[in-house]
Amino acid sequence: MKERLTQLIAQTDLVVTEQQLNQLVGFVAMLDKWNKAYNLTSVRDPHEMLVKHIMDSIVVSPYLKGNHLIDVGTGPGLPGIPLAIMNPDKTFVLLDSLGKRIRFIRQALHELRLTNVTPVQSRVEEFQPEQGFDVVLSRAFASLTDMVSWCRHLPSQDGHFLALKGQYNEQEVTELPSWCSVTEVKSLQVPELEGERHLVILAAKE
C-alpha cells in the first residue's frame, strides 16, 4: 500500500517525508479495520481509500493559509487527519457530532502519534471556540450557503472558508448570503480520481 501511495503522490507536486507516508498508510489501515465494525465510510477497499480519501484530502495542502484550522463535519477525520499529517506545524480542530467518529479519531491520533489535532464532538452551531480560526474547512456540506451560514461564527476576522466540492456550481454561488463572497476557485487534480474536484475559497466581505 505504501508503494501505491508513493506512486500516486509522484503524480503531484506534493513533497511527503517517509514518516508522513507511514502515517498516511497507517491511517488507511486503521480506517479499513474500524470500518468493518463501525461503518465509518462507504469506501470499502483500502486501495480506493488511498485515492478517494488520502489523495483527495492532501491535494488541498498547498492552499492552507494560517496556523489554526477547523475541519467541520470531519466524519472519520477527512480531510483533517491527512492534512494534519502533511502540516505538522499547524493546529487542527476536527469537529463532528457523532461519538463513534470522534472515538475513532482519538484512537487514530494515539496510534499515529499526532499531537497537532484536537477532536471535538459537537454540532457545529453549538460549538463556541475560544478564538476564531484562520481556515474553516469542509468537504461534508451539501451547499456553500449551508456551510457559511452554519459556520459563520468560526473564522477569525481575516479567516477564510475552504469548501471541497465536486463540480463547481455557479448557481450555488449566486445563492450565497450577502455578507459572503467567493474569492477564488481552484481546480484540483487528484491522481486516478474520476470526476472533477474543486476548492472554493470564500470570505466575509469587508
In whole numbers, what is the pLDDT of the chain averaged over residues? 95
SS3 state of residue 96:
strand
Under 8 Å between Cβ of 99 and 124: no
Backbone angles phi and psi of 160, in degrees to 5: -125, 160
Under 8 Å between Cβ of 155 and 161: yes
Q: What is the Cα–Cα distance from 197 to 60, expressed in whole angstroms? A: 10
Which residue in this structure is represented by grid cell 502533511? 86
Q: What is the pLDDT of residues 53-69, one digit of tens each?
A: 999 999 999 999 999 99
Mean pLDDT of 111-122: 98
pLDDT at residue 3 greater than cutoff 80:
yes
- pTM metric for this prediction: 0.96
